[in-house]
């Protein structure tokens, strides 16, 4: 039938396109891969540097300071549990993955968000793209990412970055564009330059909104951890993926508990940081 052939032609066209990108962009992709894995390895090395209990206490102390004494104790106990389950290396790998992907998402998303916050035209272009990202099933961009970046943490970081970036962009743009008019007027009437108005007026007002975006991005990144296990992310995601395949239910539950602990600890800490923002 004709339409079946047309679909075949379409598929062939996609394949050819992928091959073309793969061959012509290989230098760029290996550079990107090097960059992502370099960042990830560096962060992981840093996290592995102190003994497990020092890191546990440090996170507990931070939670104590920002959230409260009770949560500080819970956070420390949760991390001890991760260690106790024999999942400490995986926990650190997951932490490194989530933090590096979120950091890139916040940097890139922050810049795009600021531009979109200033320019409604840019926002009009960016918003539908973000909506598309948020509605696409993650597997859809996971596969081409494997094709270009190969199996490993780089692909996992890229995929995590893609899901993590929309909240930061959206909430940064919202914060920047919603600066109260009287404060913009104050800037102008005081003789502030465009840059001064941005740094001294728009940014402080947007800070809360931006922090909410960072928190959301972090949560989206945690949501990707298990899916990223399929592409060789390492860490807890891969542990779950491997134990599901071997029907090792108990181990997958252990890893899931560790993910929940990490997620809750980072969520509460970043939320508290947001509340501290004036």
Partner 1 sequence: MTNEALDVLIDCRNVWKIFGERSDEAIKAIRERGAGKREVLRDYNCVVGVSDASFQIRKGEIFCIMGLSGSGKSTLVRLLNRLIEPSMGKVEVKGRDIAQMGPKDLRALRAHEIGMVFQSVALIPGRTVLDNAAFGLEVQGVAKAERHKIASDALARVGLADWANHMPRQLSGGMQQRVGLARAIASDPEIILMDEPFSALDPLIRKQLQDEFRELTKSLGKSAVFITHDLDEAMRIGDRIAIMKDGIMIQQGTAEDIVLHPADAYVAEFVAGISRLHLVKAHSLMAPVSEVPGDVLARLPRTSPEADVQALIDLVLSTPDQAVAVEDAGTCIGVVTARTLLEGIRGEEHAAATIEVVA
Helices (H), the chain: 2-24, 26-48, 52-66, 69-84, 88-118, 120-135, 138-149, 153-177, 181-190, 194-196, 203-228, 235-245, 249-276
- Residue 47 touching partner 1 (CB under 8 A): no
- Which 8-state DSSP code applies to residue 201? I
Distance CA 271, CA 278 (A): 13
Quick one: which of 27, 49, 189, 250 contacts partner 1 (CB under 8 A)?
189
Q: Shortest approach of partner 1 to residue 210 CB, angstroms?
A: 13
Taking CB under 8 A as the rule, does residue 15 contact partner 1?
no
Give the three-state DSSP class for 246: coil
- Binding segment for partner 1 (CB under 8 A), chosen from 30-38, 97-105, 163-171, 201-209, is 201-209
**Of the two residues 61 and 120, which places its CB atom closer to partner 1 in the complex?**
120
> Helix crossing, 249-276 with 69-84: angle to 10°?
150
Binding test (CB under 8 A) with partner 1, winner from 47, 66, 133, 207: 207
191 near partner 1 (CB under 8 A) = yes
| Stretch 145-184 residues interacting with partner 1 (CB under 8 A) | 180, 182-183
| 195 is a site residue for partner 1 (CB under 8 A) | no
Q: Is 272 helix (H, G, I), strand (E, B) or coil?
A: helix
Instruction: Output 26 or 188, the one with its CB closest to partner 1.
Output: 188
Q: Does 6 bind partner 1 (CB under 8 A)?
A: no
Among candidates 273, 268, 267, 261, which has minimal Cα distance to 56? 261
Q: Which residues bind partner 1 (CB under 8 A)?
A: 180, 182-183, 185-193, 196, 200-201, 204, 207, 278
């Amino acid at each position: 039938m004709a339409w079946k052939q047309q679909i075949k032609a379409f598929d062939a066209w996609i394949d050819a396109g992928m091959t073309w990108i793969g061959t012509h962009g290989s230098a760029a992709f290996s550079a990107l891969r090097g960059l992502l894995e370099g960042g990830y390895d560096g962060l992981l090395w840093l996290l592995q540097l102190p003994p497990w209990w020092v890191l546990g206490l440090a996170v507990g102390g931070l939670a104590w300071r920002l959230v409260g004494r009770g949560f500080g104790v819970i956070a420390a106990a949760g991390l001890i549990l991760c260690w106790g389950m024999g999942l400490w290396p995986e926990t650190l790998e997951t932490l490194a993955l989530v933090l590096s992907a979120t950091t890139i998402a916040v940097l890139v998303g922050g810049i795009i968000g600021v531009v979109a916050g200033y320019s409604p035209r840019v926002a009009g272009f960016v918003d539908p793209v973000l909506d598309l990202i948020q509605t696409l099933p993650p597997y859809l961009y996971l596969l081409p990412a494997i094709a270009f970046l190969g199996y490993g943490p780089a692909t996992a970081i890229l995929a995590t970055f893609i899901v993590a970036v929309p909240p930061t962009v959206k909430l940064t743009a919202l914060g920047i564009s919603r600066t109260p008019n009287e404060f913009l007027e104050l800037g102008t009437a005081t003789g502030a330059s465009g840059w001064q108005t941005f740094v001294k007026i728009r940014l402080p007002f947007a800070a809360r909104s931006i922090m909410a975006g960072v928190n959301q991005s972090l949560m989206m990144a945690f949501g990707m951890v298990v899916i990223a296990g399929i592409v060789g992310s390492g860490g807890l995601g891969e542990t779950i993926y491997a134990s599901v395949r071997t029907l090792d239910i108990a181990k997958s539950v252990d890893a899931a508990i560790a993910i929940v602990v990490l997620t809750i600890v980072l969520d509460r800490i970043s939320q508290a940081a947001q509340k501290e923002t004036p």
